[in-house]
Amino acid sequence: MKYKRILLKLSGEALMGGKSYGIDPQTLSRYAEEIVTVVKQGVETGIVIGGGNIFRGLQGAAEGFDRVQGDYMGMLATVINAMALQSELEKQGLKVKLLSGLSIDRIADSASSRKITEALDAGFVVIVAGGTGNPFFTTDTAAALRAVEMHADVLLKGTRVDGIYTADPEKDPTAVKFDTITFDEAYERKLKVMDMTAFTLCRENDLPILVFDMNQKGNLEKAVSGENIGTVVHN
């Protein structure tokens, strides 16, 4: 395996599968299988999951909600998803520690760099829920933060597209995929990798990001073993 310690970011939307809201059990179980495969090969795995399948603060604000209130609702949505993933991973035989950036102590201990690394060292898969615990941030930023905190070798961003293109491939048929790209070039070309806060955190801490299609079976294992899939963003 190329990477020994990984942080996997899954969006909440990915959990919907073909549904338009909530969690699709089949998709959840397939993702868990992918994770089990890499964990069984000794990869130390942290996971951060979004909440967009349930609630997003910005969408709430557009509908007239208070932004901060909406952001906390979004963070709670990530807790729901994280609990679902925890249950599924445990069902499939893994030891899972759920930590949270938002204090919710009956369900999860508070996330900290020390707690995350101790749990990884003890052989747990660690899911960090609750985002950063602060409004006005995203789960991508939480993923970057946790990846840096746990000294991950790479941040794996599992999406529905197979990498980063020169333009949106769904709109522009001449769009070309990058195998690798530097942070500087991605910035200059204004390519959307992650939001700027997350992007900057990774760049400043020299943490590569691998964007890949999580919906292709076997891709997580390929990504971790260094096969040429997706796009790697690096310094």
Q: Which positions touch ligand UDP (CB under 6 A)?
A: 11-13, 50-52, 56-58, 70-71, 74-75, 77-78, 131-132, 134-135, 137-139, 142
Sheet holding 125-129, edge to edge: 109-110, 96-100, 125-129, 44-49, 5-10, 154-159, 209-213, 231-234, 180-182
Measured from the CB atom, is 12 or 46 closer to ligand UDP?
A: 12
Cβ-proximal residue to ligand UDP, closest one: 50
Measured from the CB atom, is 11 or 86 closer to ligand UDP?
A: 11
Measured from the CB atom, is 63 or 123 closer to ligand UDP?
A: 63
Give the whole-angstrom CA distance, residue 164 versus residue 127. 26
Task: Report the nearest approach of ligand UDP to the CB of residue 122 (Å).
Answer: 26
Measured from the CB atom, is 60 or 169 closer to ligand UDP?
A: 60
Task: Report the nearest approach of ligand UDP to the CB of residue 59 (Å).
Answer: 7
Task: Report the nearest approach of ligand UDP to the CB of residue 80 (Å).
Answer: 11
Kindly give the residue spans of alpha helices, DSSP state H, lying in 150-204: 183-188, 196-204
Give the whole-angstrom CA distance, residue 67 versus residue 63. 10
Measured from the CB atom, is 113 or 235 closer to ligand UDP?
A: 113
**CA pseudo-torsion sign 8, 197, 227, 165:** positive
Task: Report the nearest approach of ligand UDP to the CB of residue 137 (Å).
Answer: 3
Task: Report the nearest approach of ligand UDP to the CB of residue 23 (Å).
Answer: 12
Give the whole-angstrom CA distance, residue 110 versus residue 87. 19
- Do residues 205 and 148 lie in contact, with contact meaning Cβ atoms separated by under 8 Å? yes
